[in-house]
């Protein structure tokens, strides 16, 4: 049984089939009109435990005439609104009539979460989640198959790795490596490096040839050039001519621990035959309808399935010859949204044969071609649930496309990069997203767009313009010599108000901070545009240097001055003070034991922590005390005898140091144990210092809590005799108190520097 079959059998028992409902006149049609030939748009009002608003684009797919296409941003981790992406993809012979958001994606970084392939090229390897409460817990997808029909079905995507004649199926490719996983990273990963943590190991393989894409059926064979061991924090760059195998967990380590530099490794990518030749594949879930019946492929009792929310769906009917793009608004006064069971039942009533859930919630968006407007633009058809009904930028869309040729006509849809006043030196541009004919078809406009200025206060360069003189002007936009649009442009000599952040700061020597110009406004608080490179940065006082981007580096402790920003005729400043530095973040300047601590750290006897702190009052463990003292005494750890402490095996991190101290008779433990993690008491410290530094001549000093019958009496007396300890002001030594890091360091310092 292959991996896909195993997964399906495990989770199938968790799925709950919704009860089918007989079809009837169950909803009212609010809007209905064609977007193009064979592309129909409808908006419904439907009641199911509350009012619902549904938008529906039905596409009779005929390859080369009417298609449902996959829309992608320019980068794999790019994000764009549905309307913007659909408009950008619409062109001569490829008119986008409507679109919906599609696949799930990582909202922070933009990359798709699940399998995504386009014309046999693997755009993203994706993941199949574990647990029947997850949307994609079984590999399901939508795509256009090799015959041009819509297909909603299971898929079996395999990534395999072969070395030494042994082939293993790898967890995935080009995505975050999770616990106990194996991931292959190719040059097509959205980052140039693996970006994994240190809890795994990685193998770099070079094929000797540049890898320009990944595709189903591809085999990559190369030689191992580097092995990054477990625990390494090195950031591995993915070679343009190879791939990186990233492994985590003992199972994977045991499978590949034998691999050495120079070994041959082969990676292979495959998908099951039903998807061969597909125009694209976009994995999503859960599946909702199968064979015209509700079929919710996730636990319908899970919180995600029970949630009433906005939904986006792609469905098929007529054997895949008709594809349906559907959105249900939710979480709003006009539309509640649906849970998965409601959604599956509704789709069956609508006549769907197969259906699959796409990314919903705040992502749910439908855009359609507004045939009634003069500019024929792609506009929102639904109301997204975000604040102000704003669209969320998404990583993929599905778009209904008319492939018919365009007739004659003239109109333009343009976007002004900075449609606000410009400070002299600032630039803006005009992006003509579409030019339309009288039938609202989009015309080619890659060439022929030019600009002119009315009053000459702007310098024109292609479709960009730069403010050269303060004043009022107007830009005229032309397509093949015909004016199609104009807009006013105001230019300013400088801002009316401006500020620097931070406005005041105290810094440490060597510290860097990025100063930024903020609240750059014109008259009446109006937003204005400016070129950041036009900001002139300077300093006063011997405080340090500031780069052209506002990054300031502190230089002289105790100095004070200003960081100044000048934009046009406006200048503002921030006050800067450079403070004196302590040895550590928690050791201030003038610390009581500053001299001793400096000596100990300079001589690498004791260190601070990675966060820059020393933690002087933290108790010291017995094992760390052994480590420090063995270094100070320069004990030989190469030839040692095992003291056979039951709790210090030879694999212990400080076994050699503890053994060396025991061999030297400086430590002895108790009951066969050393208790390495236990805290060191002041009495135990006295013994280690006394024996380690071979102290003699005990003092006749009385400590109220140290009697002659105590085992540590002699050691404390010897320390007192050499002025290594004086005890506390109340006449006590506090032998059973745990010693702190600072006090241990202080005693070691005094012992090192005692008079001989």
Question: Using CA atoms, how far apart are residues 536 and 662, in angstroms rounded to an integer?
Answer: 66
Q: Which of 353-367, 401-415, 595-609, 726-740 has the lowest mean pLDDT?
A: 401-415
Q: At what angle do helices 682-692 and 741-752 cross, to 10 degrees?
A: 20
Instruction: Note every long-range contact of 166-174, with CB atoms under 8 Å and residues 24 or more positions apart, other chains counting.
Output: 166/255, 168/255, 169/3, 170/245, 170/267, 172/125, 172/126, 172/127, 173/122, 173/125, 173/214, 173/269, 174/122, 174/124, 174/125, 174/214
Q: What is the pLDDT of residue 436?
A: 64
The verdict on pTM exceeding 0.75 is no
Confidence category of residue 484, pLDDT binned at 50, 70, 90:
confident
The answer to whether 384 and 367 have CB atoms below 8 angstroms apart is: no
Question: The tokens of 177 are what?
Answer: 């490596």
Is 498-579 in the same CATH topology as 412-492? yes
Question: Using CA atoms, how far apart are residues 163 and 161, in angstroms rounded to an integer?
Answer: 7
Indicate if the pLDDT at residue 14 is higher than 80: no
Side-chain half-sphere exposure of 18, counting CA atoms within 13 A: 29
Indicate if the pLDDT at residue 169 is higher than 70: yes
Calculate mean pLDDT across residues 709-713. 91
Confidence category of residue 541, pLDDT binned at 50, 70, 90:
very high
Q: What is the pLDDT of residue 551?
A: 96
How many other C-beta atoms lie within 10 A of the C-beta of residue 513? 18
Q: pLDDT tens for residues 382-407?
A: 999 999 999 999 999 999 998 877 65
Confidence category of residue 305, pLDDT binned at 50, 70, 90:
very high
The burial of 255, by beta-carbon neighbours within 10 Å (0-12 exposed, 13-18 middle, 19 or more buried), is given as middle
Indicate if the pLDDT at residue 747 is higher than 60: yes
The secondary structure of residue 389, as a DSSP letter, is: G
Calculate mean pLDDT across residues 225-243. 95
Confidence category of residue 257, pLDDT binned at 50, 70, 90:
very high
> Is-cis flag, bond preceding 598, omega within 30?
no
Question: Using CA atoms, how far apart are residues 381 and 229, in angstroms rounded to an integer?
Answer: 53
Report the percentage of the chain scoring pLDDT > 90: 71
**Token pair 């195998």: residue:** 245
Structural domain spans, the chain: 3-154+276-372+381-402, 157-271, 412-492, 498-579, 594-752
494 to 422, 487, 516: CA distances (angstroms): 9, 22, 17
Q: What is the pLDDT of residue 282?
A: 97
- Chain-centroid distance of CA 491 in Å reads 39
The secondary structure of residue 524, as a DSSP letter, is: G
Question: Using CA atoms, how far apart are residues 403 and 406, in angstroms rounded to an integer?
Answer: 9
**Token pair 């070679």: residue:** 239
Confidence category of residue 230, pLDDT binned at 50, 70, 90:
very high
Q: pLDDT tens for residues 670-681?
A: 899 999 999 999
Strand pairing report for 172-173 and 182-185 = parallel
Q: What is the pLDDT of residue 5?
A: 39
Averaged pLDDT of the chain: 90
Residue, of 698 and 108, whose pLDDT is higher: 108
Return the CATH fold of 157-271.
Jelly Rolls (2.60.120)
Task: For residue 687, give the nearest of 670, 700, 671 by alpha carbon.
Answer: 670
Question: Using CA atoms, how far apart are residues 397 and 322, in angstroms rounded to an integer?
Answer: 18
The burial of 368, by beta-carbon neighbours within 10 Å (0-12 exposed, 13-18 middle, 19 or more buried), is given as buried
Indicate if the pLDDT at residue 7 is higher than 50: no
Question: Using CA atoms, how far apart are residues 338 and 288, in angstroms rounded to an integer?
Answer: 13
For 688-748, give the DSSP string.
HHHHHTT--S-----BTTB-TTSTTHHHHHHHHHTTS----TTS---TTSBPBHHHHHHHH
Question: Using CA atoms, how far apart are residues 422 and 209, in angstroms rounded to an integer?
Answer: 49
Q: Which CATH class is domain 412-492?
A: mainly beta
Helix runs in 299-436, H state only: 303-306, 340-349
First to last CA, the chain: 79
Confidence category of residue 756, pLDDT binned at 50, 70, 90:
low
Q: What is the pLDDT of residue 338?
A: 96
Calculate mean pLDDT across residues 533-559. 93
Homologous superfamily (CATH) of 498-579 is Immunoglobulins (2.60.40.10)
Question: Using CA atoms, how far apart are residues 611 and 620, in angstroms rounded to an integer?
Answer: 18
The burial of 422, by beta-carbon neighbours within 10 Å (0-12 exposed, 13-18 middle, 19 or more buried), is given as buried
Strand pairing report for 516-521 and 172-173 = unpaired
The answer to whether 155 and 272 have CB atoms below 8 angstroms apart is: yes
């Amino acid at each position: 049984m292959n991996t896909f079959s195993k997964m399906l059998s495990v989770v199938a028992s968790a799925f709950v089939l919704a009860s089918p409902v007989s079809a009837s006149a169950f909803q009212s049609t609010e809007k209905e009109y064609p977007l193009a030939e064979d592309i129909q748009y409808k908006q419904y009002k439907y009641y199911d435990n509350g009012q619902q608003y549904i938008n529906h684009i039905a596409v009779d797919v005929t390859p080369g005439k009417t298609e449902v296409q996959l829309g992608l941003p320019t980068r794999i981790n790019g994000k764009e609104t549905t309307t913007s992406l659909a408009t950008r993809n619409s062109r001569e012979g490829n008119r986008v009539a409507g679109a919906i958001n599609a696949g799930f994606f990582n909202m922070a970084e933009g990359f798709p979460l699940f399998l995504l392939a386009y014309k046999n090229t693997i755009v993203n390897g994706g993941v199949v989640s574990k647990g029947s409460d997850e949307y994609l817990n079984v590999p399901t997808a939508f795509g256009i198959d090799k015959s041009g029909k819509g297909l909603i079905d299971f898929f079996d995507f395999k990534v395999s790795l072969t070395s030494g004649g042994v082939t293993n199926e790898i967890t995935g490719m080009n995505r975050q490596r999770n616990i106990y996983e194996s991931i292959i990273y190719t040059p097509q990963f959205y980052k140039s490096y693996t970006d994994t943590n240190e809890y795994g190991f990685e193998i770099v393989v070079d094929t000797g040839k540049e890898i320009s894409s990944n595709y189903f059926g591809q085999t990559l064979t190369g030689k191992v050039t580097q092995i990054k061991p477990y625990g390494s924090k090195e950031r591995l760059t993915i070679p343009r001519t190879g791939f990186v195998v990233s492994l985590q967990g003992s199972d994977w380590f045991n499978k590949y621990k034998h691999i050495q530099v120079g070994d041959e490794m082969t990676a292979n990518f495959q998908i099951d035959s039903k998807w061969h030749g597909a125009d694209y594949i976009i994995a999503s879930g859960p599946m909702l309808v199968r064979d015209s019946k509700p079929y919710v492929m996730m636990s319908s009792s899970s919180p995600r399935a029970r949630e009433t929310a906005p939904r986006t769906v792609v469905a098929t009917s007529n054997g895949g010859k008709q594809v349906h793009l559907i959105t249900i608004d939710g979480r709003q006064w006009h539309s509640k949204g649906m849970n998965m069971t409601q959604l599956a039942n509704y789709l069956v009533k609508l006549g769907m044969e197969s259906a699959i859930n796409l990314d919903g919630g705040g992502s749910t968006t439908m855009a359609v071609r507004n045939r009634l407007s003069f500019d024929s633009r792609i506009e929102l058809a639904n109301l997204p649930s975000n604040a102000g009904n704003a669209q969320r930028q998404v990583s993929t869309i599905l778009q209904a496309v008319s492939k018919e040729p365009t007739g004659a006509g003239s109109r333009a849809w343009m976007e002004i990069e900075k449609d606000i006043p410009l400070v002299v030196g600032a630039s803006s541009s005009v992006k003509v997203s579409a030019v339309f004919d009288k039938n609202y078809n989009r015309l080619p406009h890659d060439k022929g767009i030019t600009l002119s200025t009315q009053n000459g206060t702007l310098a024109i360069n292609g479709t960009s313009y730069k403010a050269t003189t303060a004043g009022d002007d107007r830009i005229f936009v032309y397509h093949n010599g015909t004016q199609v649009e104009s807009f006013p442009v105001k230019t300013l000599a400088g801002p009316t108000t401006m500020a620097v952040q931070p406005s005041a700061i105290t810094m440490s020597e060597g510290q860097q901070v990025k100063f930024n110009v903020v609240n750059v406004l014109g008259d009446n608080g109006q937003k204005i545009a400016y070129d950041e490179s036009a900001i002139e940065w300077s300093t006063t006082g011997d405080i340090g240097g500031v780069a052209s981007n506002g990054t300031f580096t502190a230089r002289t402790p105790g100095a004070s001055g200003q960081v100044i920003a000048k934009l046009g005729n406006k200048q503002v400043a921030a006050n800067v003070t450079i403070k004196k530095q302590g040895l550590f973040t928690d050791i201030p300047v003038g610390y009581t034991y500053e001299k001793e601590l400096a000596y100990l750290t300079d001589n690498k006897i004791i260190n601070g922590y990675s966060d820059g702190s020393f933690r002087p009052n933290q108790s010291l463990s017995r094992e760390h005390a052994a480590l420090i003292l063995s270094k100070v005494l320069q004990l030989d750890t190469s030839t040692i005898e095992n003291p056979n402490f039951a709790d210090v095996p030879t694999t212990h991190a400080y076994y050699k140091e503890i053994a060396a101290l025991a061999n030297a008779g400086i430590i002895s433990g108790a009951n066969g144990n050393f208790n390495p993690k236990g805290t060191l008491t002041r009495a135990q410290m006295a013994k280690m210092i006394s024996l380690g530094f071979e102290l003699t001549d005990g003092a006749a000093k009385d400590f109220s809590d140290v009697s002659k019958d105590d085992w540590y009496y002699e050691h404390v007396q010897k320390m007192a005799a050499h002025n290594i300890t004086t005890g506390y002001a109340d006449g006590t030594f506090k032998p059973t108190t745990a010693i702190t890091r600072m006090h241990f360091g202080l005693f070691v310092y005094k012992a090192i520097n005692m008079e001989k």
